[in-house]
Amino acid sequence: MTIYEYMIGKMIKNGLTPDQATEVMGIAMSAPSTHNVIGKWEDDITKYESMLITHLWFDVKKHGLRWIDANIPESYFRILFK
């Protein structure tokens, strides 16, 4: 499983549709806060320490929350992105 697939999967498990999760990933991948991951999104997740993946998830989740607030602020799953 790649880092990208893992992040998409977590967002889907937290309530986003696959299309919504893909849109959020597009935002997250172009954000300055994930600049260190450029070119590594398709790497196998097992190459990296779990602490790094957790830190990256917190950042992706932050972008997910912003997207939710802008598009579906009353969603029942918003709290899972806080």
d(CA 36, CA 21): 21
**Model pTM score:** 0.93
Paired strand residues for 2: 44
User: Has residue 7 been placed in a domain?
Assistant: yes
- Domain hosting 15: range is 3-32+41-73
Domain count, the chain: 1
Q: pLDDT tens string for the chain (82 positions)?
A: 999 999 999 999 999 999 999 999 999 999 999 988 889 999 999 999 999 999 999 999 999 999 999 999 999 999 999 9
User: Has residue 81 been placed in a domain?
Assistant: no
∠ CA 67-65-46, rounded to 5°: 105
**Is the distance from CB of 18 to CB of 8 less than 8 angstroms?**
yes
Give the per-residue pLDDT at 73. Answer: 96
Give the per-residue pLDDT at 66. Answer: 97
d(CA 35, CA 69): 23
